[in-house]
Chain A
């Protein structure tokens, strides 16, 4: 300890004072509106519980931590697991080699089924072959639409990113947009690029890509603003994630642009924005459904030998459009964080 740093009471006193002050504040300053008290209560979807013997399913995704999208996938999987008397072991790692290791862990634990995403299919090839050799059924979800069949997966649940991009482009044609900018919030992400490429295919106007740093919102906001100022002919901003869409609305405002904002993916703040009309529409690949169906299909396979898509075709969970016409129905589900 340094000599000059000993007066303990002097050092501690301000902390107590601050703690006391904040306790007083908490006691005295409650909010009259909003907050948890105003949040609607609601129960999660539930469909009773199967009386089949308990089985274990491992779900291994390439999700990064703290991403709203993957949180919804996991909730779907958990709901199906609760219904089917399945013990769900969820794990995730964005690094392909680590993800493959997690699948190996599941094989070592002798689980009854594995649900896996194939964002980097080649890295997963070997370990999936091992699972199949060990007699563990494997289904795919979300990523790997092109390869699930050749890797011998039972079924696949997801959205073809190109197809949903194409549907997005067609929808834009109806709105009369002429010049769109597609905001990619993670440079080098294959499925994000595929969405923008899909839009480009069907959209009759002009499109171009813009890269932003998705983990830094002020930077996203300024970069989109800069783009709208640089090219004033842009009348449509396409974003690939809900939080980015909400930020893009502010950018449009800052740039004094007339551009409209439409997006892929959904969350609860976004449904409010669609209601308010600040966001045109969202295309939803229904992540909850992807998680739910993947687990449910493994239960069905074990107990009744069924496999969705018959091993030939993927099961599509999107693109589902959410716009002013149907947002009211969906908003109540989104508020629970499951849509």
Chain B
């Protein structure tokens, strides 16, 4: 799977000349090559976290608890996927958190104000979300500004618009409830239903999450577009030199984040009926955290799609595990931070072991 443009750390070191026989293996073992995959460190950390909470929190062991952990992880994880792809492509999107709220508000306000079937709102919201993504990408390319700055700008624009537009139309700072409207039940069954397996209710987002992760993996490893993503994130100029459409790739990646924001926004809307306009701020960092714990490099050009899935799962486990363990809630955030750091360190250590010569 290792891409040609991935940094040296991930690609196999050149075999030493045959004359240099000094007892060291000339080729890395299968185990070590396995460890070099971006998501393996995260997987080991995830197993560790799971075992830890399994031991200390009795209620964590139930299947229902796993469904709850998976639910939180999935809502975060669906967004972490396109965010991770974007990071592999060498860019950030700080507007990703509020973009989710924008999408949900667009659908809710449009359907409510014009008294339309909610599906119209859903479709317009998709167009708006994709347009926001395209705008981010286009502005990045046009101006040459770093994505940090461009998306910080769109983050603030979206945050302000969420509030101002909602207030203009509803007179309040939350959207009106659309639960009574045509198409709501149908849309709810698509975006926010539950699937019962063996008496345990799993939220449908969990399955979408895994399917999307599968699609993203296929995209990254089996398509030309996947090669482009690694290439533009690894070295933009040499990618361009060998004919990779850098601009197209980057805009598509930003639009991918838009699509993710739309999907999660629809889930929020149809599971909670209304949306408060101040929601979502700060979540952009959680998506990036999930991607980083999952092995994506902050510098771009390296990572996987399954990594952020594991990263989001670790975050969900730690977040809920602390509650299941019944620890003193005053320390909640401190525990959360410590556990995440620990998970990231295990990840780092495993990768280090793997690339050691």
Contact = CB atoms under 8 A, between A and B. Distances in A.
Interface of A: 1-2, 4-5, 15, 18-19, 21-22, 25-26, 29-39, 64-68, 70-71, 187, 208-211, 213, 215-219, 221-223, 225-227, 229-231, 243, 246-247, 250, 254-256, 267-269, 272, 337
A222 B180 contact: no
Interface of B: 57, 59, 62, 64-65, 68-69, 71-72, 75-76, 111-120, 123-124, 127, 131, 141, 159-160, 162-163, 166-167, 170-174, 176-184, 201, 240, 243, 245-248, 267-268, 271-274, 276-283, 316, 319-320, 323-326, 329-330, 332-333
Given A21-B123, A269-B273, A38 B180 contact: yes
Nearest to B115: A35
Contacts of A19: 127
Given A26-B114, A31-B183, A5 B280 contact: no
Given A36-B115, A223-B320, 18 more contacts: A15-B131, A25-B119, A29-B117, A30-B114, A34-B180, A35-B111, A66-B162, A66-B166, A68-B172, A215-B283, A222-B71, A223-B323, A229-B59, A230-B59, A231-B59, A231-B326, A250-B272, A255-B64
Q: Which 6 A-B pairs have the closest CB atoms?
A: A34-B180, A66-B278, A35-B115, A34-B181, A29-B117, A66-B277
Contact of B319 (A39, A219, A247, A268): A219
Contacts of B267: 218
B181 A33 contact: yes
Contact of A254 (B59, B174, B181, B201): B201
Contacts of A231: 59, 326
Nearest to A39: B176
B261 to A, nearest CB: 14
B142 to A, nearest CB: 9
A250 B329 contact: no
Given A68-B276, A222-B69, A187 B332 contact: yes
Given A35-B115, A229-B324, A254-B68, A65 B278 contact: yes
Contacts of B278: 64-67, 215
A64 B93 CA distance: 23
B268 to A, nearest CB: 6
B322 to A, nearest CB: 9
Contacts of A15: 131
A18 B64 contact: no
A31 B117 contact: yes
Contacts of B246: 2
A222 B141 CA distance: 39
Q: Is the interface of B mostly helix, strand, loop or mixed?
A: helix
30 contacts: A1-B247, A2-B240, A2-B245, A4-B245, A19-B127, A26-B114, A26-B116, A29-B117, A29-B182, A30-B182, A31-B118, A38-B115, A65-B277, A67-B278, A68-B173, A71-B167, A211-B329, A211-B333, A215-B279, A215-B283, A218-B71, A218-B75, A222-B72, A222-B319, A229-B59, A229-B64, A231-B59, A250-B271, A254-B201, A337-B170
Nearest to A14: B130
A22 B71 contact: no
A319 B48 CA distance: 48
Contacts of A255: 64
B247 A36 contact: no
Nearest to A67: B278
Contact of A22 (B123, B243, B323): B123
A205 to B, nearest CB: 17
Given A29-B119, A71-B172, A223-B320, A215 B68 contact: no
Contact of B181 (A26, A31, A269, A337): A31
Contacts of B247: 1-2, 4-5
Contact of B174 (A36, A187, A210, A243): A243
Contacts of A213: 282
Task: Among B131, B167, B271, find the residue whose CB has the most chain A CB atoms closer than 10 A.
Answer: B271
A196 B321 CA distance: 23
A280 B75 CA distance: 29
Contacts of B271: 217-218, 250
Given A34-B181, A231-B326, A218 B280 contact: no
Contacts of A223: 72, 319-320, 323
B229 to A, nearest CB: 16
A216 B112 contact: no
Given A216-B279, A223-B323, A229-B324, A65 B163 contact: yes
B301 to A, nearest CB: 19
